[in-house]
Structure 1
């Protein structure tokens, strides 16, 4: 094979690789980023820097139709004894309605940023909410954070396998 022919073959191979590398699956532009449709359900994960080690952010999920400490479908606080990651799933079979998702201090006295990630269990589409607590919020008490200034509330509307996140 001549030198020109080899160079031409390498150029064609490199261009092909670049084109394939640049191609990626795109989402349907008609579906907003804050809508996740997933037959497997939805995973919610809170991550935060657990320093000092006494800092503890927890995750609460309340059914808006019957909001109270007992309306948390997971049965209580999600996150005791975590290492800066709190996670739970909402099944596709959960009741269709509005849920209030709350990330709140359980213990802590310092300002604390966090990331709340909503992720489809099957298709892995994600939507991220970031927030932070002022140190003054840590002193609040109570078991039900629905609508309180202690937690940063996000509404999750579930309809079948469609989950819509709104802040």
Structure 2
């Protein structure tokens, strides 16, 4: 009889311990999903289906307080001649301010959905935004996508190693 009680006691003690050890907290509930704190910086990636092959989505990043073509910290459009993936990094050493991230439909003939992913370089936390462009936008002209219907804008606020994404 002692043996059964001992087995029962071990089961009662071991089961909750195994369940507790098997649970892993993946995120801090006090930190919103759209906030990534990363000492390495942040990677921005746009992915889309490059069908037909003439389809081209580009990625632009502008310093919001001094918007101009020259305020793009990368110095140029990110995305020419890609295969449906456009990516760049913003390092933790970049100036602290608001950036405007623009996914733009440069060329194509059909409606085009895309995914814009923000990922910490060191800790790998991910925040994702999905969007789409209507086919009629592909035929628009002009190179200024900032704030236009040809570009979907997202604000990225950088403060030290903290990056906050807002739509």
Do these two structures clear the TM 0.5 threshold for a shared fold by scoring above it? yes
Structure 2 unmatched runs, 5+: 1-10
Counterparts of 1:72-111 in structure 2 under 5 Å?
A: 72-111=72-111
**1:69, 1:143 within 8 Å by CA — same for their partners in 2?**
no
**1:28, CA displacement in angstroms?**
1.0
What TM-score does the superposition give when structure 2 sets the normalisation length? 0.86
**1:58, CA displacement in angstroms?**
0.6
1:55 to 1:27, Cα distance in 2 relative to 1, 3 A:
same
SS at match of 1:109: coil
Counterparts of 1:1-167 in structure 2 under 5 Å?
A: 19=19, 22-167=22-167
**1:139, CA displacement in angstroms?**
1.8
For residues 22 and 134 of structure 1, what CA distance do their matches in structure 2 show? 46
Structure 1 unmatched runs, 5+: 1-10
RMSD: 2.1
1:22 to 1:53, Cα distance in 2 relative to 1, 3 A:
farther
**1:98, 1:157 within 8 Å by CA — same for their partners in 2?**
yes
For residues 81 and 27 of structure 1, what CA distance do their matches in structure 2 show? 36
**1:42, CA displacement in angstroms?**
0.2
SS at match of 1:155: strand
1:103-159 residue CA offsets vs partner (Å, 9 max, x unmatched): 111211210000000000000000000000001111222233221111111000011
For residues 94 and 142 of structure 1, what CA distance do their matches in structure 2 show? 29
**1:23, CA displacement in angstroms?**
2.2
